[in-house]
Structure 1
Amino acid sequence: MNIVWVEDEEKLLAECIAFFEQVGYRVYGVSTYEEAVDCIERALPDLLIVDWMLPGGGSGIDLCKRNERQWNLPIIMVTAKGDEFDKVLALELGADDYVSKPFGLRELAARIKAVMRRSRRPVPGLESSEAAEGVIYRGDLVIDSNKYTVSRDSLKVDLTRTEFMLLQKLASHPGRVYTRMQLMDEALGDAYVGFERTMDSHIRNLRRKLEPIPAEPRYVLTVYGVGYAFNEEV
């Protein structure tokens, strides 16, 4: 697996490259936004690891935004910024995970594996091969995008269009955490009029109809302080 790692602390970057190349990864280390863009275009990596604060004309957040528009690669933000607002901002702008400095290399290795496992990056405009064909299978759930129907254990589950679109988006990427804003933008689109907190009401109604025990959700999980994810163990 190829990684582009953007970090301006030279000693830290050298230690990280040495560790991850020992376990079989190919790591390209750069220190600025401009170098990162050039390296990504040349190396065509599988993953980006990006420091929030970078010297020069662009930040790690700028790379997140450009990645969303252009490359659509899994991305982990690594930074000394550690409060909840910064974490939520990074995730809303496209980061798949967030690691605060100082961090353990083995922990980061585990996070890389988790991000790659759950990040089935689509070609822009397509969710996955399943979704492109119109039917998603998750355990005993069948989500048919052609008919806008959902069944559990072969029994039909009646959902509103909003509930269906939320379930379809979450189930297309099991394990990926979506913020409320991402669900509004990516699942419901520009036609949706509402506030972030109304997403909680939609998820609550979805669980009431979908989950065998709504108070103990099996499918749609809450990631506290961030948003929601479909259970990747289903």
Structure 2
Amino acid sequence: MPNVLIVDDEESIRTLVEYNFQRSGFDVEAVGDGKVAYDILRARADKFDLVVLDLMLPGMDGMEVCRRLRQENVSVPIILLTARDEEVDLVLGLELGADDYVTKPFSPRELVARARAVLRRSEAVEPESKPAALQSKVLKSGNIALDVSRHEVRVNGEILEFTPKEFELLQYFMENPEHVLSRDQLLDRVWGYSSATDTRIVDVHVSHLREKIERNSKNPMYIRTVRGIGYKFSDATSTS
């Protein structure tokens, strides 16, 4: 039974989310203060499989909770809840290491489905579950080298920092060069979403990847936009 920590200061929302997770077979702990949640996770992070974290919290806001946990290498998956449907919140939350986000008002069933998808992805990347051949795989394209086992990306020989989801997205692109990949397909394969959802999360991650791997993010050589469909990763060996 997966354990989830629900963090929201609105009692009605906290109770609704807690009820739906319990009904879906989760073991749930719920708090209404960001500092309390941070202290719990610092002390008992290994007890939880997932955190559902509101942004607007007393004590410590959700962004700060997320930032501090990631700085301290607490890797428990985090889904952000936000009532502010603004690009800056989405971008910042993902940059800080959140795994997903849901905008209020939301469907409790959709939130639980997104949680299950995050958990599936988290389980899929456990090192001990990978065969030796996969663990030793290094993907190369132009001046990019992605080491699957070390979870490491080098660009022009320099190791760059990537969030877990940026790494997974780049890996999927590099494993499927010259294929046109729709946003829905990327959501399914990288995020594990089988139903339609907000595709902005794909566009934000692609934008982040371009800033890190492209010489000119406005005129990309690797991740190209296919208008009306999605993206294509070009094996730009001539860029090395």
Asked if TM exceeds 0.5, the reply is yes
| Contact 2:77/2:98 (<8 A) preserved | yes
Tell me, what secondary structure is at the counterpart of 1:95?
coil
TM-score, length basis structure 2:
0.61
Q: Residue 136 of structure 2: which of 128, 134, 137 is its match?
A: 134
Q: Shift of the alpha carbon at 1:71?
A: 0.9
Shift of 1:116: 1.6
Instruction: Trace 1:1-234 onto structure 2 (pairs within 5 A).
Output: 1-40=2-41, 41-42=43-44, 44-56=47-59, 58-69=60-71, 70-120=73-123, 129=130, 133-135=135-137, 145=138, 159-162=141-144, 165=153, 170-171=170-171, 175-176=190-191, 179-180=205-206, 182-183=208-209, 194=215, 196-197=217-218, 200-204=220-224
Cα shift readout 1:153-211 (whole Å, capped 9, x = no counterpart)? xxxxxx302276589752279504572575379xx6xxx7856546x43213xx9xxxx
After superposition, the C-alpha distances for 1:16-53 in whole angstroms (9 at most, x for unaligned) are 11221122101111111221123222362001110001
Q: 1:8 to 1:89 in 2, by over 3 A?
A: same
Report the CA distance between 1:218 and its aligned residue. 8.7
CA contact 2:35–2:65 (8 Å) conserved in 1: no
Alpha-carbon spacing, 1:115–1:33, altered in 2? closer, same or farther (3 Å) = same
Aligned to 1:229: none
Distance (Å, rounded) in 2 between the aligned partners of 1:182 and 1:128: 28
Q: Are the equivalent residues in 2 in contact too, given 1:127–1:172 (CA < 8 A)?
A: no
| SS across alignment from 2:44 | helix
Compared CA separation, residues 181 and 22, structure 1 to 2 (3 A): same
Distance 2:20 2:119 in 1: 18
Root mean square deviation of aligned Cα: 3.8
- Give the secondary-structure state (helix, strand or coil) at the position aligned to 1:98: strand
Q: Report percent identity of matched pairs.
A: 34
The 3 A distance-change label for structure 1 pair 46 and 64 is same
Inter-CA distance 79–89: structure 2 relative to 1 (3 Å threshold): same
User: How many equivalent residue pairs?
Assistant: 184
Consecutive unaligned residues of structure 1, counting only runs of 5 or more, are 136-144, 150-158, 208-212, 221-234
Q: CA separation in 2, counterparts of 1:216 and 1:181?
A: 16
- 8 Å CA contact 1:3, 1:26 repeated in 2: yes
1:51–1:196 Cα change, 3 Å = farther
Letter of the 1:6 counterpart: V
Change (3 A) 1:121 1:61: farther
- Say if 1:162 and 1:202, in contact at 8 Å, map to a contact too: no
C-alpha distance in 2 between matches for 1:163 and 1:92: 22
Question: Structure 1 length normalisation: TM-score?
Answer: 0.63
